[in-house]
Amino acid sequence: MAWENGWGAPRIHGELLKLGLLVDERTVSRYLPRGRISPDQIQRWLVFLRNHLDGLVGMDFFTVPTVTFGVLYCFFILSHHRRQILHFNVTRHPTSAWIIQQLREAFPYQPAQKFLIFDRDAKYGFEVPTAVRSMAMTPVRTSVRSPKPS
């Protein structure tokens, strides 16, 4: 609410009171983000994306709950130039070795892509960026707490 609507602690506190949640205003202000992203940082990232669009791929996970209350981890590699899925696989227990194998299957020969974008998930470990570099691609990690695209 603070990022999207520009609300401060008093406004959020009032809305929480309307919902019946008894929280102190100081507690609300303690959990609000401290600073905003400067427009220069956003502009630099957009320029990077536009300049390297044809050489960008991204990888990430999403989870799917099962009927038996388990969780499946869906891994995908997406080409940003044509917005098409290059590789997709599912596992119950993702490890860095499994992710490296998926990268080998997605790029069996020298990749035409120059940059591989991924987040700071602990599943990637230290091995995945090393494997990406060995495949002649540059690993680019997103910043901590980077905003989700709207």
Q: Which two tokens stand for residue 103?
A: 């990268």
21 is a domain residue: yes
146 is a domain residue: no
150 is a domain residue: no
In this predicted model, what pLDDT tens digit does every residue of 9-31 receive, in sequence order?
Answer: 888 888 888 888 888 888 888 88
In this predicted structure, what is the pLDDT of residue 2?
57
Burial 58-85 (b: 16+ CB within 10 A, else e): bbebeeeeeeeeeeebebbbbbbeeeee
64 is a domain residue: yes
Query: Model pTM greater than 0.85?
Result: no
**Helix (H) / strand (E) containing 84:** strand 84-91
111 is a domain residue: yes
CA angle 50, 112, 102 (to 5 degrees): 105
- DSSP conformation letters of 47-59: HHHHHTGGGEEEE
Domain carrying residue 19 = 1-36
149 is a domain residue: no
Q: Residue 35 has what DSSP assignment?
A: -
In this predicted model, what pLDDT tens digit does every residue of 101-140 receive, in sequence order?
Answer: 999 999 888 776 888 989 888 889 899 999 999 998 999 8
